Amino acid sequence: MTLSPPGIQAQHQQALDEGRFLIQRCGACAAHVYFPRELCPHCGALAPAWVAPAGGGQVAAVTTIRRKADLGGDYNVCLVDLDEGVRLMSRVEGLAPAAVQVGLRVRARVAQQDGRGLVVFDAEQAA
């Protein structure tokens, strides 16, 4: 019995679980793609290649989720535009929720939560 390779979402999660953040880049039109897909949403080409993004980006939108302190306290949820031109939803860690503002420069990293990898962001140091 031949096993088929894992689906595109499973491949993406496996890389995150291994500590690697990957996005896709289309070989036909050179556009970056995120969330992973079987086809390029820009030109329809098959199987965009996996690439490691540089990791830099900018907060495009942010909201604060309010929780009681005994449940972990407040946290932020952000839309982040990577420098490669793709947008993803995540959070910025290491800052108070009120300090996370639109336009903040951030850098991606893979964190482990409940044994699974996920992409989170840290504020970049001001130059």
pLDDT for 2 equals: 57
Q: How far is CA 63 from CA 9, 78, 88, in A?
A: 26, 7, 14
All structural domains of the chain: 8-123 (2.40.50)
pLDDT for 125 equals: 77
Q: Tell me, yes or no, if the pTM score tops 0.85.
A: yes
Rounded-to-integer distance, Cα 108 and Cα 39, Å:
25
Query: Block means of pLDDT (10 residues each) for the chain, length 127 residues?
Result: 74 96 96 94 94 97 95 94 97 94 97 95 81
Rounded-to-integer distance, Cα 61 and Cα 17, Å:
26
